[in-house]
A and B are shown apart, each in its own frame.
Chain A
């Protein structure tokens, strides 16, 4: 589904991501781990169009997408969440999800301005669809609350469902359970599986090894911008380099 080949990103002299090639298979959860500053987020930013790779290519569904603007990337079927929560804080939960559906809607400026029947019909569809998504993560009671006033965990959920609302084929999650406690993490596990059931593939950065080991089908480990190891979770977990650089020895 998503393939990168030799992606390299530089900031001035620093090579943040160095010739990274990964392969995300349809219907799977692929994990991306690595020490802090390894370049995981940067790599995500590159896939989602925030940065253009200096070298290498990003192929999504058989098409080259490197260098496309983020909003184009969203249009081709990739959605993402951010390491630092990036909600529209003053908008309500419902409106956040509505913005998420932006690319799926056809109305343009003129039909909006004139409030044409086609636009009205679409608005109705949007409202119904939004209800569905809120139910999906259990936010329906908070539809009219401002996103900024939600608790941290709920904000995370909202961010994910906002991404899902754009109807992506692939969703990129950047440390989705950071700041959640163990119980919430377990609930999250189940949510990931429900997302898979929607036919959405997942690529996820995570430091929580328990979660990674539990849900991922395939794991890549980055260090200093280069790929250190890849394979099914057990293989990566026991890889000596990964233990040295990332997991640390047992106490």
Chain B
């Protein structure tokens, strides 16, 4: 089976800074894959470039999604292909209510009638959001914002969802909840690629993992193998 998302010899430059230095990566349909790695390894850059959110001038190499080359596409174009991203640091619309935030996520959908249904589905998954549906996004707590950001991506019924550090700044109990949600989403057939600093939880959640180091893929493999790898243990799992 062809991979749903594939990066071929992918580079990224911020001006003259070479941040991603030729990586190859595949995510198969229905899979859940994680990228781990130190700060500044280029994980966010990679995800955002896939989604078309970085300046397309710096992109080299190929990004293939669903059989289409999408490098250099605008973000909204990528989103319309069914590839949605939950941004690092949540990025909820601070002056829109929770419900408006979610509806904005459904911007691309033409089937207005079914949106109501799906909204209910989101609320069922995150009851907290339903309680706060008229509250402004900016006044939610960090965990609630993360849920909102995930919900906003899900309502677009994507084929694949990218998450950038979903556990950032969340209380342990919420981290657990969020990862439970991610697993559920994946089990419902959505392909997932996520970046995570908390390597332990990441490797325990995903099927396969990539380890990035200063712009390059240092290692890849099934999570159960990575979890026991000595080097990974030493560098990312903390003894």
A181 touches B (CB below 8 Å): yes
User: Of A30-38, A55-63, A115-123, A165-173, which stretch is located at the interface?
Assistant: A30-38
User: Interface range on chain B: under 10, 10 to 19, 20 to 34, or 35 or more?
Assistant: 20 to 34
Contact with A along B14-40 (1 / 0, CB 8 A): 000100000000000000000011111
Q: By the criterion CB–CB under 8 Å, are B236 and A36 in contact?
A: no
Min CB distance A206 to B, Å, is 10
B102 to A: closest C-beta gap in Å: 19
Roughly how many angstroms separate A83 CA and B174 CA in the complex, as a whole number?
A: 18
Give the distance in Å from the alpha carbon of A180 to the alpha carbon of B165 in the complex: 11
Q: What is the minimal beta-carbon distance from B148 to any residue of chain A, in angstroms? A: 12
* Contact (Cβ within 8 A) B144 A247: no
Q: Considering only CB atoms, which chain B residue lies closest to A186 in the complex?
A: B238
How many A residues, CB 8 Å from partner? 31
CB within 8 Å of B: which A212-251 residues: 245-248, 251
Q: Find residues 197-239 in chain B having any chain A CB closer than 8 Å to their own CB.
A: 197, 199-200, 234-239
Give the chain B neighbours of A175 by CB distance below 8 A: 169
Chain A residues in 8 Å Cβ range of B168: 178-179
Nearest-neighbor residue (CB-CB) of B141 within chain A = A37
Q: Is B96 in contact with chain A by the CB < 8 A criterion?
A: no
Residues of A close to B38: CB separation below 8 A:
153, 181, 183-184
* A residues 22-36 touching B (CB-CB < 8 Å): 33-36
Give residues of chain B (122-168) contacting chain A, Cβ–Cβ below 8 Å: 140-144, 165, 168
Q: How many angstroms from the CA of A33 to the CA of B235 in the assembled complex?
A: 27
The residue of chain B having its C-beta at the shortest distance from the C-beta of A153 within the complex is B39
Question: Is there an interface contact between A153 and B40, defined as CB atoms closer than 8 Å?
Answer: yes
Q: Tell me whether A152 is interfacial, beta carbon within 8 Å.
A: yes
Per-position 1/0 for A179-199, Cβ under 8 A of B? 111111110000000000000
A108 at interface by CB-CB < 8 Å: no
CB <8 Å contact, A207 and B170: yes
Instruction: For A184, list chain B residues within 8 Å (CB).
Output: 38-39
**Candidates B39, B144, B169, B170; contact of A83 at CB < 8 Å:** B169
B171 touches A207 (CB 8 A): yes
- Minimum CB–CB distance from A73 to chain B (whole Å) comes to 24
Q: Judging by beta carbons under 8 Å apart, are A37 and B236 in contact?
A: no
Q: B117 to nearest A CB, angstroms?
A: 29
Q: Which residues of A contact B173 (CB under 8 A)?
A: 35, 245-248
In the complex, 18 of the A-B residue pairs with CB atoms within 8 angstroms, ordered by the A residue number, are: A36-B142, A36-B144, A36-B170, A36-B171, A84-B89, A154-B39, A178-B169, A179-B165, A181-B236, A182-B199, A182-B237, A185-B238, A186-B239, A207-B169, A207-B171, A209-B172, A246-B171, A247-B173
Closest 10 CB pairs of A and B: A37-B141, A182-B238, A151-B40, A248-B173, A36-B142, A36-B143, A36-B141, A152-B39, A153-B39, A35-B171
**Which residues of A come within 8 Å of B, CB atoms?**
33-38, 83-84, 149, 151-154, 175, 178-186, 207, 209-210, 245-248, 251
